[in-house]
Structure 1
Amino acid sequence: MAWSRVVGVVVGLVLVAAPVPAVAGTAAGPPPVTVPSLSNWTAGQGSYAFRSGARIVAGDDAAVAVARTLADDLGAAGHGGVPVVRGGARAGDIVVDVDPSAARLGAEGYELRAGSRLSITGGTDTGAFYGTRTLLQLLAQSDRVPAGRTVDVPRYAERGVGVCACYIHISTEWLENLVRDMAYQKLNQLLLELKVKSDAHPEANTWGYYTKDEIRRLVALGEKYHVEIIPEINSPGHMDPWIENRPDLQLTDDDGDKQPARLDVTQQAAYDYYTSLIDEYAEVFPAASWHMGADEYMLGSDFAKYPQILRYARARYGENATPQDAFIDFVNRVHTYAASKGKKLRIWNDGLTGANTVPVTAGTTVEHWLNVAVKPSRLIADGYPLMNAAYALYLVRGGFHTDTKGLYDQHWDPRSFEGEKLASPKGITGAKISLWPDNGRGETENEVSTDLDPALRHLAQATWGTPHPDATYTQFTARAAVVGHAPGWRDLTRVPVTDGTYTFRSGAVTADYTVRRTPDGYVTLISVASGRCLETRSGRIVLNVPLEPGSAVTEEICAVGNTLQRWVLEPGPAGGHILVNAITRMAVHIADGGRLVQYPPDQQPQAVWQLTAR
């Protein structure tokens, strides 16, 4: 294809429900504004006032963890330090409670009561956490919360975002922002197709990878914010990031040509290689699921070009077997392996064409993105958990973008698949947005964020509650604007220096550049000497982006739309700055003779530049 901690430990705490007192001059009003909108609201008289001296009251470890996260976020949102305490609550306090006997709340629902104090009760710590997200949204608008009560329970269990960072590196800062905003809007799954730098297979470590420490930090953030991060290595197609230097594992066609994107499913060595990657990913991803992709294996070709696949299928399943059975065989073998490691398997739907005689193993979650012969209703009838990953929800970098307004106006919900709308939500796990980097130069990360924001909020609304809480899309976007971004969300469009001309010094290298901010929050660097712009364009090209470590950074003719001429000025030691290309995400390194080249930060030291205004 082109470009979730859910339930924690369940414990009970002591909570006395706060009465909802009357406050003179305040009448019961409409539901408070949140995204997703509250499932229901029973208004009271008066309001809860968040003031200096408020405490967060919790009663044991599960609630304390949620309460501490809330305290961190209140601080990040500018509400000061709020202590987390145990014991009895008083007026003005926030009470966080986990009550496993509250079956009505399910795994992720919560009850919120606002009166002289504000109480949040979840049947699990995850439910209580989501109640704190609602509180943060309300306090983003006012230090008073209208008195009342809601019991807010999601309609779908899986509410996700899929990101392919498999070819084009996406900054960890961008991914951290995404995790925070997802949690703020009660989305719970981040499905990441990416490459982790391998210790077992160093030959696979071409650029685009993440270090294990980077992944550990991201996963820890996801755990704190109840976003399960599910890894994907797409196979047996789209394997080129992993096997481009392993021709022995590549599928060979009947002309003898190697296919660097296709794993040879007839080889035991290919299966062993892939499962060894699962083992290595398990070191940093504790998720309960493994996504193997399994899409577009024969993209641009067909099984007839690979007669060995049919021979393999017939050897295993008899003379009536089809080439598709060899593909399904590989999927099922991975399912068995993942299950032995305590993980559930997820795949895309497009490989399920109906041409197979061997069924996919029961329990495999199918993410439906493409209208093929086997329809969603058939998959559900056959017992497969089904996620709606419709192409209508895609944002393709430099290509198709989901029409959020159109979907909102159509009252889109997760029952609406590509090619079929189902009458019932039964069997549907939820839905996700998918972000694909088909053209790495098409858009920068910051531009993607701008387009993603409304789509993210719409998906949160459609998977948690009613798909159409406001009469018009304009009203819905106004709702989203009031709520804003999550506490701790960083504005990645901020440039640390003003436009102007500066002398850049790093060691013995000195150059004068005019710095100009771009509309999407990067900078161009225009050489005073040549009048040209700093750019990286040489080396191996993947999705229109030069991704070869050590390739040159040069001065080229300036072009407004050239994203390879956009740079991030990251803070460095001693008040200096590091130059990171906005698209390749590699930093400038000074090589022999003062040449400028780009490298991943773990391969060569980044040049630290001291800037002096001229």
Structure 2
Amino acid sequence: MTELIPNPCSVVAGSGEVRLTAHSQLYAGTATEGVGHWLRTVLWQATGLPLREGRELDDTEGDGIGLQLDSELGPEEYRLVSDSTGVLIEGGSATGVFWGAQTLRQLLGPDAYRRAPLSRDRAWIVPHVTIEDAPRFRWRGLMLDVARHFMPKEGVLRYLDLMAAHKLNVFHFHLTDDQGWRIEIRRHPRLTEVASWRARTKFGHRASRLWEEKPHGGYYTQDDIREIVAYAAERHITVVPEIDVPGHSQAAVAAYPELGNTDVTAASIEGGSALTVWDTWGISSNVLAPTDTTLRFYEGVFEEVLELFPSEFIHVGGDECPKEQWRESVAAKTRITELGLADEDELQSWFIGHFDKWLTARGRRLIGWDEILEGGLAPGAAVSSWRGYGGGVAAARAGHDVVMCPEQYVYLDHRQAPGEDEPVPIGFVRTLEDVYRFEPVPSQLGEAEAQHVLGTQANVWTEVMEDTARVDYQTFPRLAAFAEVAWSRLPAPQERDFADFERRMAAHYGRLDALGVAYRPPTGPRPWQRRPGVLGRPLEGPPPNR
């Protein structure tokens, strides 16, 4: 009964139970109607119970469900009380009520996650209990890279459901990279006509020489994006888009060569042929030119992005930008001189600063990977700290908001165990327990500085994840451990009760099974997930990129 993930702040068990039946009603008070619609839909799919609409809270007395706001609770805080009067979920906002509804679904058991009732005659039991709960962090994120391997829209919607089930609330949508451009920009049609497809795909890590000799690609139309954003909003998830600049941009340059450093690009292209969407992993040296043409082009891109995404933050990447072409480019050198900059690092800072001002003028905030600290950072910008804790510490001490996502703990493309059984293993070994013992707030920060830590995020880079099953395998069950770190107020890492987490996970695996998640079993890889030969060799050291 207390096998909940993430673990609530307070659980007080009672001695009875509420039985949901065909006569049960669901009352949704003012501003909770959307949550009521969602809960009625998922429970009807799983139980076959109609949960008729109650007009008053009293209609739910004894065997029903009530939803309402309580102004004394925080925005994401909720209280769930199951007793002789029925089930009542109260929240400080509709978001808090929604998280309480997610907890109710867990209390009903794994079959509450199915899309068809196993038996229409079974009783659906909610134990008597009082649960009071609120999140530790306001930013509890998952980043999904759809540039390296495209995930169709239905797969993205599925991951939003999985996030909501774990009380994660920020979906960082990595839409562009060297290997593909995944969002329709109507004023620049070649971004989808050319940049969304590559001729072949490298299969495995960078030490592998194996290739899949067929094109790979895809993109989301603007209507797809609107659907994804609306679907996320119904689940109280904010979608933060990422459009990578000035590095990780070879796909865009392949579509529009004038965006590149044209006075040096020809010499860097093998055989002098046209630049193409990159078909390997790592860091491409083909970066955006620091020209007015490039700025105007991307301002147009961001104008369409802002129309599609209402999020406060817009992610601009800013990481892993090689400076070789800028050092060789006469145009780039001239720009540095004109702007009175010291070097190419300051040129990148100027580039990021331009879009920080541009976004700020439109009521949005820029966020980027921690490389944007190099050369100076605009006051309102926030930082995704991925290269360990250092970037987050420096940013917070300088007064910038921070999302902690250090690769050593929360890069879920990293292998989950040593040995040759792990499919296409890369990076460091990061076990379920390693993720569970991750602490998002760096110990070096004082109390005031720690207030700049907005929260934390797990990142899923898909170089070695060719389909949804592989994404599932790398992401779960570690995302469940991460969700508890992001939501629950856990003790210091060394004091955390991992054995209790494993006990609760035993029940949670049943929920994941009902949801069809191809997670890595706690006992090791499934036989079909093992790949012999070169794909099974561990890759020592850091991952291919990021």
Same fold (TM over 0.5): yes
Q: 1:172 aligns with which of 153, 164, 180?
A: 153
- Match status 1:430 vs 2:455: yes
**1:328 aligned partner:** 349
- Match status 1:481 vs 2:509: yes
Contact 2:433/2:498 (<8 A) preserved: no
Change (3 A) 1:485 1:383: farther
- Tell me the SS of whatever aligns to 1:384: coil
**1:344 aligned partner:** 365
Q: Which amino acid aligns with 2:380?
A: G
Unaligned runs of at least 5 residues, structure 1:
1-30, 494-517, 521-558, 564-614
Q: 1:94 aligns with which of 56, 60, 65?
A: 65
**CA offset digits 1:485-541 (Å, max 9, x no partner):** 68xx46689xxxxxxxxxxxxxxxxxxxxxxxx946xxxxxxxxxxxxxxxxxxxxx
Structure 2 Cα separation of the partners of residues 438 and 296 of structure 1: 16
**CA offset digits 1:527-563 (Å, max 9, x no partner):** xxxxxxxxxxxxxxxxxxxxxxxxxxxxxxxx99999
Contact 1:405/1:473 (<8 A) preserved: no
- Tell me the SS of whatever aligns to 1:290: strand
**1:125 aligned partner:** 94
- Tell me the SS of whatever aligns to 2:366: strand
**CA offset digits 1:548-606 (Å, max 9, x no partner):** xxxxxxxxxxx99999xxxxxxxxxxxxxxxxxxxxxxxxxxxxxxxxxxxxxxxxxxx
**2:488 aligned partner:** 465
Change (3 A) 1:402 1:196: farther
Q: Work out the number of aligned pairs and report it.
A: 452
- Tell me the SS of whatever aligns to 1:32: coil
- The correspondence of residues 293-442 of structure 1 with structure 2, limited to 5 A, is 293-298=317-322, 301=324, 304-306=327-329, 308-316=331-339, 318=340, 321-353=342-374, 356=375, 359-371=376-388, 375-392=391-408, 393-396=410-413, 398=424, 399-400=426-427, 403-408=430-435, 411-415=437-441, 422=445, 425-439=450-464
Structure 1 Cα separation of the partners of residues 172 and 236 of structure 2: 14
Contact 1:297/1:351 (<8 A) preserved: no
Structure 2 Cα separation of the partners of residues 436 and 271 of structure 1: 27
Compute the displacement of 1:352 (Å). 2.5
**1:34 aligned partner:** 4
Contact 2:245/2:288 (<8 A) preserved: no
Structure 2 Cα separation of the partners of residues 340 and 490 of structure 1: 44
**CA offset digits 1:163-222 (Å, max 9, x no partner):** 111242112222121110100110001111122123211122223322222222222211
**2:290 aligned partner:** 266
Compute the displacement of 1:460 (Å). 0.7
Change (3 A) 1:57 1:286: same
Q: Which amino acid aligns with 2:320?
A: E
Structure 2 Cα separation of the partners of residues 155 and 483 of structure 1: 24
Contact 2:143/2:458 (<8 A) preserved: yes
Structure 1 Cα separation of the partners of residues 343 and 513 of structure 2: 51
Structure 2 Cα separation of the partners of residues 176 and 562 of structure 1: 33
TM-score if structure 1 supplies the norm length? 0.67
**CA offset digits 1:469-496 (Å, max 9, x no partner):** 543563253142254368xx46689xxx
Structure 2 Cα separation of the partners of residues 378 and 491 of structure 1: 38
Q: Determine which structure has more spread, i.e. the larger CA radius of gyration.
A: 1
Change (3 A) 1:346 1:375: closer
Change (3 A) 1:491 1:561: farther
Q: 2:17 aligns with which of 47, 66, 70?
A: 47
Flag the structure with higher strand content.
1
Structure 2 Cα separation of the partners of residues 279 and 561 of structure 1: 47
Structure 2 Cα separation of the partners of residues 140 and 429 of structure 1: 32
- Tell me the SS of whatever aligns to 2:261: strand
Q: Which amino acid aligns with 2:186?
A: D
Contact 2:472/2:518 (<8 A) preserved: no
TM-score if structure 2 supplies the norm length? 0.75
Larger RCO: 1 or 2 (CA < 8 Å, sep 6+): 2
- Tell me the SS of whatever aligns to 1:379: helix
Compute the displacement of 1:444 (Å). 3.2
- The correspondence of residues 94-243 of structure 1 with structure 2, limited to 5 A, is 94-99=65-70, 101-102=71-72, 105-116=73-84, 117-140=86-109, 143-194=124-175, 195-205=182-192, 206=194, 207=197, 208=217, 209-243=219-253
Contact 1:181/1:485 (<8 A) preserved: no
- Tell me the SS of whatever aligns to 1:146: strand
Unaligned runs of at least 5 residues, structure 2:
111-122, 176-181, 198-216, 270-274, 276-283, 415-423, 491-495, 520-526, 536-546
Contact 1:314/1:322 (<8 A) preserved: no
Change (3 A) 1:167 1:450: closer
Change (3 A) 1:307 1:405: same
Structure 2 Cα separation of the partners of residues 140 and 484 of structure 1: 11
Structure 2 Cα separation of the partners of residues 476 and 403 of structure 1: 20
Change (3 A) 1:415 1:243: same
- The correspondence of residues 56-95 of structure 1 with structure 2, limited to 5 A, is 56-60=26-30, 62-89=31-58, 90-95=61-66
Change (3 A) 1:190 1:78: same
- Tell me the SS of whatever aligns to 1:196: coil
Change (3 A) 1:322 1:470: same
Structure 1 Cα separation of the partners of residues 474 and 518 of structure 2: 15
Flag the structure with higher helix content.
2
